[in-house]
Structure 1
Amino acid sequence: MTTGVEGAEPGPLDTDTANAARTRYRDGVAEVGWWPRLVRAVVRPLVFVVARGAPPDPLVGPAGLRGLRWVVAAPTAVAAVVLANAPFRVFRVSQLEPRIVLSSLLAGLPVVLAVRYPLVAWRLIALQVLLAPFTYPANADLERWWGWPWVMGLTISTGFVLFALAESYDGPVVVAAWALTTAAAWPHLPDWREHVLAALLGAGVMVLGNTLRSRRRADLRRVAEQSRAAALEERTRIARELHDVVSHHMSVLVLRADAAPYRLPGLAPEVRAEFQLLQDIARDGLTEMRRMLGALRSDGEAETAPQPGVGEIEELVRRFGAAGTAIELDIRCGPDPLPVGIGPSAYRIVREALSNSARHAPGAAVSVGLAVDAGRLRITVSNTAAARPALDAGGDRPRQGLAGMAERVRVLGGEFRAAPTPDGGFAVIAELPLGGRADG
């Protein structure tokens, strides 16, 4: 017999007790009629989903909509408070009933909460709808409010909260909130026509919010997909550059290993065998690398043109300057050559940053700086505020240039930053680790 101590192994008595409890539960459920069981099966999941909550849509949740919601929530909250009082003519009497004042203020509170916590706001508004007969006077002249039979302030708050909930959440939460809100208002409505009207209004508001959320989510996914495509394109370009550079060095290694016995006569047989083994290993590595990386080329042909590096940045700046951009260039890279891959990457980062400046800040003064310090190449491209309206950058390719530069720097193990400057301009800063300097 177990003592109930945590970690003890269950004995036969525990198993029998658990089985007996399950049997009694099944028998008790079987004794209940089908109607209560159906109600429980339908209502319990709804209550569980809404009470437990769920994470909002990760793409278009409340955090991404706060700015837009505040613009609408502020006047809506004021309108809800004012219109909650209007049917009772509280502005025409000298003393206000405390419960009317409290109900009016509570009508605006869910609107404010819905900006950041739409599910919490819904719980509060559902409670207000459920308790409406107890919080408003029984003799309220509701029928005189433009023929509208409901409390206008509470109706406005409910509509806004349902809309915010549908904008932030998906699936069961939205459906459960609509069903429970309609159920909370159902006992207070006098006939079936108002029942149908309340259900349709709630459903319409939530369908509108869900439609806007779906459209916004599609837009954000499209932008994210374009950013991923830009990153993959940049990664492919880097792989092609590495293919060209490494292929060149491996080819030179194979040639030198093959020519070593002829350039150095009198070598011992074991030394000749070592050179032959080195040649075979280099040739196999070159073949394997071409097999893996050569597939990245869309045209199937190797690029034979030399890759631009830091030495070509001055010519690049001259071309942009000839197009009307005032550019100040400062290169301090020292006498030693940069490691393989750093030069072409620096060139392309500067080129993309200059292109962005020309598109988004035409007429602005641009400063380009490259400096080697503490084993890192620091690239800085900054511009002042635009002197004239920006050119059309192409609405279908937002921030792809920045995404490509960031991916290139990330692949090389560096750091990338791009942000507006205090004077209204923009700055791009990339730091690339040099590792060991090239041998020359």
Structure 2
Amino acid sequence: MSDRDEARPGAPAPAGGPRAPMRFTAVLRTPARAAEPLFAQAPKAWQRMLPYVVVGVFVVSLLPTTITVLTNEYGAGGGWAGALGVTQTVPLLLAVTRPLPAWMLVLAADTIGSVVLIHADEVAGHAWPWTPMSIVGYLLLVICLGLRESVRTLIGVWLVTGAVGVVLGFFEPAGVTTTSALLFVLGGAFLAVTGALRGLGDAQQRIAEQESISEAERARRTLLEERARIARELHDVVAHHMSVITVQADSAPYRLPGMPEPVQEEFAAIAASARESLGEMRRLLTVLRSDRANGGDGGGGAAPGGAGELAPQPGIGRIQQLVEATVRAGQPVELSLAAGAAQAASPAVDLSAYRIVQEALANVVRHAPGAETRVSVTHDAAEVLVLVVNGPAARDAARALESSGTGHGLVGMQERVRLTGGTLDTGPLPDGGFRVAARLPLDHPTEDAS
């Protein structure tokens, strides 16, 4: 059987959550919808607001700076400087939700600005065709594109940027510092880095989704396997009683001579019905065993047809032996077993109580070696109470055999308790231990677990 799902008994809680780089790349996942903002899937509000704040700061800073530099440094007219400042910076506000349209507007504005600056009075000795302010704004836009668009789109943006720079180079004024190659190189580097980060975030998301699907499938498979195992065990329990009924009904005319003919016929009908029921159960068990032979041993039992399947099923009377074996393995266990509990329990409750104690002790050995453990099995007129409580792992004990669990062990416990109509309560204790408490009614009709 597998581990507990709530907590690992006797061990400290895991650190929780992925490492910082993984959390960062998860924030960079591509938005699911076209107009969804960047970082829209971030877990915290300040992370979702961060793109708006950054873009807003850049726009507020670049707008007056662009107008001032174009007017004072390049000698452009005030009207042209104002128009270029607005058209080159304000579209950046779209970068958070629609970076591709924003890129088209900014590239067009920067290209027009380069043409206008050809005739500026003081363009010589300054950067051209891309001014320092336009390069900063363009790189901000490139970052937003890299975090959102596909690789094909990013390559297209990069090539168009280079092509526009090459075309403008044919009209280069004398004495300027060419910035076409600078923007082409920086733009490509920013696109590559942000695109890679975005791709890593998408990959992390797909891995998380696949792990979630796989875990759900494993839980479902474990549930079905445990039900099949319970069905096989119930067959062994019920088949014994049905066999007794058949033998008693067949032998009644010989044990009770002088029985009237109608009564003999009634006993014969009872024996025939019992034999038919046994045949149906054997056919069902054959299907279950063949499924396990094809798909592996899902319930942890013996091989099909092996001696383990033909042996009598354990019950409350075998818990003493189970505890003794656990003690011999080095686990300190104290047992309190009420007299008459095995006789009071039905076969299903008897078997379920044993399996619950077995799984609980197995988990203590796995996760809390050396922990003080108490096992108690009591009963009253209405129910059997199974209680397994362990403390934290002993400090001088060997390291836990397993550090995490999938929760499949609890699936089996829950199925067995549900089979009898009982309740199961499990969970960690304040001192670092773990508790398993099951209440199994004595008179509840069992369900068909097959």
Contact 2:236 2:312 in 1 (8 A): no
In 2, Cα distance between equivalents of 1:234 and 1:311: 23
Contact 2:368 2:392 in 1 (8 A): yes
CA contact (8 A) 1:76 1:157 kept: no
Deviations 1:179-234 (A, max 9, x none): 9x99xx99xx8976889858767754443222112222232333333333332332
C-alpha contact (below 8 Å) 1:332/1:371 kept by paired residues: yes
Kept after mapping to 2: 8 A contact 1:87/1:151: no
1:364 counterpart = 2:364: no
Q: Which amino acid aligns with 2:401?
A: D
* Percent of pairs with identical residues: 37
Q: How far has the Cα of 1:242 moved from its partner?
A: 0.9
C-alpha spacing 1:436/1:74, structure 2 compared with 1 (3 Å):
closer
Q: Which residue of 1 aligns with 2:438?
A: 430
Correspondence list, 1:137-156, <5 A: 144=132, 148-150=136-138, 152=140
Structure 2 unaligned runs (5+)? Answer: 1-31, 66-88, 114-126, 166-182, 294-303
- Cα distance change, pair 199–151 in 1 and its aligned pair in 2 (3 A): closer
**Which of the numbers 228, 243, 266 marks the counterpart of 1:236?**
228
Q: Structure 1 CA distance, aligned partners of 2:145 and 2:370? A: 51
Provide closer, same or farther for how the CA distance between residues 430 and 342 of structure 1 changes in structure 2, counting only shifts above 3 A.
same
Which residue of structure 2 aligns with residue 300 of structure 1? 305
Distance in 2 of aligned mates of 1:143 and 1:410: 74
1:253 matches 2:245: yes
Residues 149-191 of structure 1, C-alpha deviations (whole Å, 9 max, x = no match): 4474x8767877x5xxxxxxxxxxxxxx869x99xx99xx897
Residue 341 of structure 1 aligns to a residue in which SS?
helix
| 1:84 and 1:151 in contact (8 A); partners too | no
Structure 1 SS opposite 2:347: coil
- Counterpart Cα distance in 2 of 1:49 and 1:146: 29
Kindly report which structure 2 residues correspond to 1:278-297, keeping only aligned pairs within 5 A, or say none: 278-297=270-289
Q: Give secondary structure in 2 for the equivalent of 1:328.
A: strand
Number of paired residues?
A: 330
Contact kept in structure 2, 1:294 and 1:300, CA below 8 Å: no
Q: Which residue of 1 aligns with 2:23?
A: none
Cα 1:145–1:318 change in 2 (3 A) is: farther
Residue 324 of structure 1: how far off its partner (Å): 2.5
Stretches of structure 1 that go unaligned for 5 or more consecutive residues are 1-47, 54-60, 94-102, 108-122, 163-176
Distance in 2 between residues matched to 1:158 and 1:425, nearest whole Å: 51
User: Does the alignment pair 1:344 with 2:348?
Assistant: no
Shift of 1:340: 1.5
Cα distance between partner residues in 1 of 2:379 and 2:421:
16
Q: Which residue of 1 aligns with 2:393?
A: 386
Residue type at the aligned position of 1:345: S
Paired residues of 2:51 and 2:96 also in contact (CA < 8 A): no
Q: CA deviation at 1:341?
A: 1.5
Secondary structure of 1:308's match?
coil
Query: Please, which of 99, 122, 126 is the counterpart of residue 97 of structure 2?
Result: 126
Alignment match, 2:218: 226
Answer yes or no: is the 8 Å Cα contact 2:252–2:267 preserved in 1.
Answer: yes
Please, what TM-score do these two structures have when normalized by structure 1? 0.59
Whether 2:324 is the aligned partner of 1:318: answer yes
Residues 199 and 52 from structure 1, CA distance in 2 versus in 1: closer, same or farther, beyond 3 angstroms?
closer
- Structure 1 CA distance for aligned equivalents of residues 162 and 387 of structure 2: 71
Give matches, 1:10-159, under 5 Å: 50=34, 69=43, 81=53, 85=57, 125-126=96-97, 144=132, 148-150=136-138, 152=140
1:274 is the counterpart of 2:282:
no
2:78 equivalent in structure 1? none
Residues 8-45 of structure 1: CA deviation (Å, up to 9, x unaligned): xxxxxxxxxxxxxxxxxxxxxxxxxxxxxxxxxxxxxx
TM-score by length of 2: 0.58
Cα deviations across residues 348-389 of structure 1 (Å, max 9, x unaligned)?
111111111111112221122223357333322222222247
Give the RMSD, CA atoms, in angstroms. Answer: 4.9
Higher relative contact order (CA 8 A, sep 6+): 2
1:339–1:436 contact (8 Å) kept in structure 2: no
